[in-house]
């Protein structure tokens, strides 16, 4: 899965970055979602334009007509999410919902474009994930929220806790480490698979680490180095691109 369109190999969250990943054969792209002051959804990570563009200010405090003029890396314009979702009908998107204000316009966009079955929503907020399910219904794919990840981790160590884990998700999307300690191991993966959850790890930018995770049995790998990950998967005979 190409994280932000491959943020090490390309200018993150830009149309050329995603185009390059699709040309490489990627069927799964990851991006972040924020909303402008006038309700336009954009593929953008930070709350402000400051870090990656030639402009400053909060994304949600400026209208789309201004945000669209900001150049990421001084070169590429901010992308409207609708343009991404409709660019490649056979590509799936993992969408990291960065703010509660994203949800209502996102639900409208997904319904209007008929893209419900091509998206999976993620968030660091359990409340946002629950709200997304209410808006878009049980067919929406979501990842586990923080509480669900913690409960899954606990259940991997304690059989008594296994019955306490309530699953309303299609996958667990998790970092390799949490709080300075390894999070993903064989027990965590087994606990997820017992509940029909896929395990997607982020963000893996080292070939040996990618091999180690795949050997362990993860179902998906997010990377800022999509060319590297394709080489790893090709060498393993596991590449299933477009």
pLDDT beyond 90 at 74? yes
Catalytic site includes residue 3: yes
Catalytic site includes residue 10: no
Q: Is 242 buried (19+), middle (13-18) or exposed (0-12) by CB count in 10 A?
A: exposed
Q: Is the dihedral of CA 8, 14, 17, 22 positive or negative?
A: positive
The one catalytic residue in 10, 45, 177, 193 is: 45
DSSP 187: H
User: What is the Cα Rg of the chain in Å?
Assistant: 18
Domains and CATH numbers, the chain: 2-141 (3.20.20.190), 143-242 (3.20.20.190)
pLDDT digits (tens, 9 = 90+) for 181-201: 999 999 999 999 999 999 999
| Residue in 64, 58, 6, 10 with CA at minimum distance from that of residue 40 | 64
Phi (first) and psi of residue 44, to 5 degrees: -155, 140
What mean pLDDT, rounded, does the chain reach? Answer: 96
242 and 27 Cβ atoms separated by less than 8 Å: yes
The one catalytic residue in 3, 10, 117, 200 is: 3
pLDDT digits (tens, 9 = 90+) for 83-125: 999 999 999 999 999 999 999 999 999 999 999 999 999 999 9
């Amino acid at each position: 899965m190409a994280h932000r369109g491959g943020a090490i190999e390309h200018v993150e969250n830009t149309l050329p970055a995603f185009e390059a990943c699709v040309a490489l054969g990627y069927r799964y792209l990851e991006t972040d979602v924020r909303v402008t002051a006038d309700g336009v959804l954009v593929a953008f990570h930070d709350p402000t334009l400051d870090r990656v563009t030639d402009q400053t200010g909060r994304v949600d405090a400026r209208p789309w007509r201004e945000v669209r003029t900001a150049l990421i890396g001084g070169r590429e314009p901010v992308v409207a999410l609708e343009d991404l979702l409709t660019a490649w009908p056979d590509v799936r998107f993992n969408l990291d919902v960065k703010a509660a204000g994203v949800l209502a316009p996102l639900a409208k966009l997904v319904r209007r474009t008929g893209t419900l079955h091509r998206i999976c929503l993620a968030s660091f907020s359990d409340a946002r994930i629950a709200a997304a399910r209410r808006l878009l219904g049980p067919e929406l794919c979501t990842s586990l929220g923080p509480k669900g990840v913690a409960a899954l981790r606990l259940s991997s160590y304690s059989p008594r806790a296994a019955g306490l884990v309530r699953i309303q998700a299609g996958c667990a999307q998790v970092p390799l480490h949490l709080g300075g300690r390894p999070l993903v191991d064989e027990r965590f993966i087994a606990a997820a698979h017992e509940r029909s959850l896929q395990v997607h790890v982020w963000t893996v930018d080292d070939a040996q680490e990618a091999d180690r995770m795949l050997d362990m049995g993860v179902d998906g790998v997010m990377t800022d180095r999509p060319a590297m990950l394709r080489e790893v998967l090709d060498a393993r005979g596991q590449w299933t691109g477009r």
